[in-house]
A and B are shown apart, each in its own frame.
Chain A
């Protein structure tokens, strides 16, 4: 199973020493305790405030109240509470204002709102701290148990890729092999099939094309197997009219891809794992880039794609593998092409054509093809 595979075995305790993890956990716990105390105090303030508001609202019910007035430290005497609607409210910093009962309760209400917003902030902080604490706890426990992290390089032919015990997801190893799954073999075959199909399609297009200047065909030969997993799972891929990929990030490309006129060049591309694309940049590409960005706002599919691919890309940031085919379409050809595409479900999964009729390009001669988005 591991013929010729290189791998590393690292003990978690070497990465996250047990004592340090525990110390960090203690620190976070102290911070949590402190915040909890503050939270308790704020809650106390809130309850006091509400009881005060009740009192303030009940006092003007009578003209005068019979009460026991405190006298010194240990004595009371009976007395009357008069001017029941006049309150001297402390505004802060030694300033008092004479207010009626209603106005006082308004002031108290505003204070309560500020307190509540503070409580919300504290609660959010507390949640974060607790998440941190639990993470440290888990790491400390795992390190203490002596868990090992096993990492193996991805071998193309091997069907059983060793899974590794990856704990605590802290190691962002750029090694793509660490993220392989067991379906790799079947996806490889599928991928190969798709590539063959695409090659055939390209040949057909090339034959059908008459306009030499507008036709550009480029194909990215570099298709690593690692892309197969991503490609088959990738539902949103744009057919873009962007020949120039070198200077743009993949994410930018994908997100910007949008509708395009039919007789504009089209590219199908898969996100590449390694940026080995040698795309010819053309002046057309520059124009389309601008057009794309201007029309990118409303496209949900592009957003989905963007998020989708960016999520994928987070896993495989360094590489890009894709097939880029540039076409010059009339609407007929577009239909054909899309039909061809539909015929092959595997390709459909890979390629999503997003076109919008409102895409305006001066070179577009007014024709647009309607492509289905799959």
Chain B
């Protein structure tokens, strides 16, 4: 009985460890996406600043695929602002997900610890008996 309980506990630990590693991968991916978004946000803010310095009759083009499409100053301004808002919202969402992931990681780690303790107790008990 004791060895089978031991094996069960070890199985459980493995599964929990797998879950934990998956969570960690998710966290790193989240970090990367967040970094990308942060860079884009910075870039867009720069663009907005430059657009503000342009006067009305300047020609603005947007690169869509291989085509440079002529755009209006007002239009370009609106687009850039919308994009900034979108990116900020995405960042906030990612922050929330990251928090959730971290909490889950924490729980998993605690669970693993408890399992390990149980295993140790079992093993100690076995060696004593």
Contacts and interface: CB of A to CB of B under 8 A. Distances in A.
Interface of A: 88, 91-99, 107, 110, 114
A114 B46 CA distance: 10
Contacts of B43: 92-93
Nearest to A111: B46
Contacts of B83: 93
Given A97-B54, A107-B50, A92 B44 contact: yes
A95 B76 contact: yes
Given A91-B50, A91-B51, A107-B50, A96 B44 contact: no
Nearest to A98: B59
Contacts of B50: 91-92, 97, 107, 110
A94 B64 contact: yes
A99 B63 CA distance: 16
Contacts of B51: 91, 95, 97
A93 B81 CA distance: 12
Contacts of B68: 88, 96
Interface residues of B, number: 20
A41 to B, nearest CB: 14
16 contacts: A91-B47, A91-B50, A92-B43, A92-B44, A92-B47, A94-B62, A94-B64, A95-B47, A95-B71, A96-B61, A96-B63, A97-B59, A98-B58, A99-B58, A107-B50, A114-B46
A107 B58 CA distance: 14
Interface of B: 40, 43-44, 46-47, 50-51, 54, 58-64, 68, 71, 76, 80, 83
B17 to A, nearest CB: 25
Nearest to B59: A98
B64 A97 contact: no
A91 B83 CA distance: 15
Closest 5 CB pairs of A and B: A98-B59, A92-B47, A94-B63, A96-B61, A92-B43
A28 B76 CA distance: 45
A122 to B, nearest CB: 16
Contact of B61 (A88, A107, A114): A88
Contacts of A95: 47, 51, 60-63, 71, 76, 80
A110 B59 CA distance: 20
A95 B40 CA distance: 13
A96 B71 CA distance: 10
Given A95-B63, A96-B61, 6 more contacts: A91-B50, A92-B46, A95-B62, A96-B68, A97-B50, A97-B54
